[in-house]
Structure formats: C-alpha cells, structure tokens
Amino acid sequence: MAIGADEAVLIEDAERAWDSLAAASILAAAVRRLGGFDVILCGREAADTGSGVVGPYVAQMLGMPFLTLVTGIEVSDGVLRVRRMCEGGEDIFSCTPPVLLTLSSEANRPRYPSVMKVMAAKKKPVQRWKSSELDAAAPTASATLLGRYTAAAPGNCEIVSGDTPDARAAGLVSRLREKRVI
C-alpha cells in the first residue's frame, strides 16, 4: 500500500493445504469476486517451492490468456507490448486485455516508499476474507512437501601445506604437475 496499491485483500485460512493448485483456486475465486480487471500481475514463482505455476493456474481457471517471465510492459491505445525472457534473449508480444502476466525480477525496480507513505499505509483498510467465503473449487488432490534434501557433493580435495604463501603456491604447482594438469 505504501508504494501505490489502492486496495488490499488478505485471504486467511489456516486449515487449507496451500499447494500451488489450492492457492490458485483461492486466488481465482478472489479475482472473480473483485471483478473489473484488465491485467493481473503475479510473481514469477513461489518463494518456498519455486514452482512458478500459480499464475498460469489462475489464468486457466479464469479462462484467460497469460504470459510468463515478463521483463517489461508498455501500454499504447489499450494494447500491451510485453517483453518476455527466452533462451538467448527476449520475445516481444502484442496482446489485449484481459491477460495475466507473471513478472520476472527484471521487470521492475520497486520504488522505496517514504516514511510518511509507510505510516499512511498502516492506516489504510485491508479487507480480510476467509477462504470459506469464496466460491473456490476444492482441488482434487493436494501435494505436501515432505522434505528437501541437498545432494551430497563428493569431497575429494587435498590441502597444500606450507609456512608461507610462496611455499603453498610451490606445493600446489608441484601437485598439479604430478597430476599432469600443467
């Protein structure tokens, strides 16, 4: 709110499994309830799972087109010119609303709000909705993250000893020559 949003809605639900499909279902229901939109902006991916599917799911549920990985948007005469990341560069699209766009971090540098705007934002009303108040279809299945594991990297290193940096460098060069690397 401090950087320019006119309204805010907080959807509260401690009982629902918030996988990507469930989150999209609730968000699509909230968008339907709010109505009156031209462009829906979503983040690139989930901060916790990195899935990147909530925005496209919402678009599918609303029956609207979407573009992902957007790096820039220009509007002229009601038409959007959208830049999108692709391998080796950018694609440029022309599209008309309604459309959902997932934004890459390259799309914008947010303005840092002044202290006055932060204080004023704290006084702005925030609508609070329970997910049970929304007409959201319950997803058929919920995925639960059971754990995340980091692959073990094989540790195969040698420590080159020496009393001085020059002695350690000479030892390193000697080992590299033995291994025929240099």
Predicted pLDDT at 128: 93
**Which residues of the chain register pLDDT less than 50?**
none
For residue range 27-63, list pLDDT tens digits in order.
999 999 998 899 999 988 877 667 889 999 999 999 9
Alpha carbon distance 24, 128 (integer Å): 18
Predicted pLDDT at 142: 61
Burial 133-148 (b: 16+ CB within 10 A, else e): ebebeebeeeeeeeee
Predicted pLDDT at 143: 63
Bridge pairing between strands 66-76 and 99-103: parallel
Residue with tokens 């702005």: 124
Cα–Cα distances in angstroms (integers) from residue 177 to residues 62, 122, 156, 180, in the given order: 64, 66, 18, 5
Predicted pLDDT at 52: 85
Angle, in degrees to the nearest 10, between helices 54-62 and 20-34: 50
Predicted pLDDT at 105: 82
